[in-house]
Amino acid sequence: MTAEAKPLVEAFNLKAFPQRGLSAWMGDGVCLVQTGMGAQRAAARIESLLSVQVGIDAFINVGVAGGDRELGDVIIASSLLDQVSQRRWYPHLPASSVIDATNHCEVVTVTEPCRDYRNDCVYDMEAASVAKVATQHTDLSRIHAVKVISDNPSHSVEDFCVKNVTPWMLNTLPTVEALIECLSTNKHRHEVVDFRANVQSLTDHITSVCHHSVTQSHQLRRLLERYLATHGHLPHIEQMGRLDSSQQLLQKLENELTSLSVIY
């Protein structure tokens, strides 16, 4: 809901992202989409965002939830359960030095507001649905849910008042900021992402000037990966000779890799 999005928009200095049918905001390396209420709506909005915005490789579902905890308490999901399908996901949580190890529990995604408050889980209406879509695009170390308690046994969902949401959502900011920092500064991931991007870029360039079949394109990409892994740099395009035969090019790269010295 808008009251949930507002503190995040302000904290991350996000600007509205004009896209029909989507309430979304963009900022420095962060994109926020308002999913709306319910699993189907959330899945559809995430899919819509992914269709117009490339390069999204991490997901944090932030919002309110009900549970047997104090109002305004913040938890990170240690597991996400889709109550309908009974499918469960376990996000790979960051080190306890990054995210407090104490405030975690299962988030159960339900179709109707739940009044059966428990202290070992919280209930929401979107998180598992977001995870289901997100796992098609990335791995579980990059999919998280952060929830703030908006209703509990003393203040049931009928007492829910939208004007309280903004201050509660402010409580989530330290956790969300820590997660974003952790996800965006992952050196090991950046290394492999950059490695793949460099190889893909040269692959695309070569296949744009010299026809390769799909199989040959895969072979070329792997040969370039091997070249980069063994030489520390990609082959210089001008040193590769005429690029008028894909077969010759692949053979040339293969020969070069086969004759390469391996010294420890």
Partner 1 sequence: MISTLYIERDIESHPRAQAIIARFPKSRRISIDRYGDVFNQTAQDFRQQKQQPALILAKKHGRRVLPTPPGYHIGGERNFYFSHMLNCVYDCRYCFLQGMYRSGNYVVFANFDDFFDDIKSTANEKPEEPSWFFSGYDCDSLALNPITEFTDDVLDHFNTLPNAYLELRTKSTQIRSLLKREPVPNAVVAYSLSPESVAAKHEHKAPTLKKRIQALQDLQNAGWSVGLRFDPILFSDNYQSLYTELFEQTFNALDADAIHSVSLGPFRLPKPFYKRMIRLYPDSSLLAQPMQTKTAMVSYPSNIEQDLLGFCETELLKRINKNQYFPCVSISNPVNPVEEHKSTSKLALTPVSALAGTVDNSDARKQEPTLHDLALGQPSREPST
The reply to whether 252 sits near partner 1 by the rule CB under 8 A is no
The reply to whether 86 sits near partner 1 by the rule CB under 8 A is no
Judged by CB under 8 A, the residue of 15, 20, 188, 242 near partner 1 is 188
CB of 154 to partner 1, least distance (A): 26
Q: Are 63 and 42 in contact (CB under 8 A)?
A: no
Per-residue contact string for residues 130-159; x = within reach of partner 1 by CB under 8 A: -----x--xxxx-x----------------
Q: Which segments of 70-137 are extended strands (E)?
A: 74-82, 87-89, 104-109, 121-124
Q: Select the span of 9-17, 92-100, 111-119, 173-181 touching partner 1 (CB under 8 A).
A: 92-100
The reply to whether 197 sits near partner 1 by the rule CB under 8 A is no
- Nearest residue (CB) to partner 1, 70 versus 139: 139
Nearest one of 150, 161, 172 to 61, comparing CA atoms? 172
* Alpha-carbon span 50 to 56, nearest angstrom: 7
The reply to whether 31 sits near partner 1 by the rule CB under 8 A is no
CB of 140 to partner 1, least distance (A): 5
The reply to whether 185 sits near partner 1 by the rule CB under 8 A is no
- Nearest residue (CB) to partner 1, 102 versus 215: 102
Burial 18-39 (b: 16+ CB within 10 A, else e): eeeebbbbbeeebebbbbeebb
The reply to whether 222 sits near partner 1 by the rule CB under 8 A is yes
* Alpha-carbon span 112 to 95, nearest angstrom: 34
The reply to whether 257 sits near partner 1 by the rule CB under 8 A is yes
Residue 82 neighbours by CB under 8 Å, 6+ apart: 39, 88, 109, 128, 129, 132
- Nearest residue (CB) to partner 1, 89 versus 123: 89
* Alpha-carbon span 98 to 15, nearest angstrom: 27
The reply to whether 184 sits near partner 1 by the rule CB under 8 A is no
The encoded tokens of residue 263 equal: 């010294």
Interaction with partner 1 in 43-82: which residues (CB under 8 A)? 78-79
The packing angle between helices 39-52 and 127-134, to 10°, is: 40
- Nearest residue (CB) to partner 1, 196 versus 205: 196
**Chain position carrying tokens 């990335």:** 138
* Alpha-carbon span 71 to 91, nearest angstrom: 24
CB of 157 to partner 1, least distance (A): 26
Where on the chain is the footprint of partner 1 (CB under 8 A)?
78-79, 88-90, 92-97, 101-102, 104, 135, 138-141, 143, 186, 188-189, 191-192, 195-196, 199, 222, 225-230, 257-258, 261-264
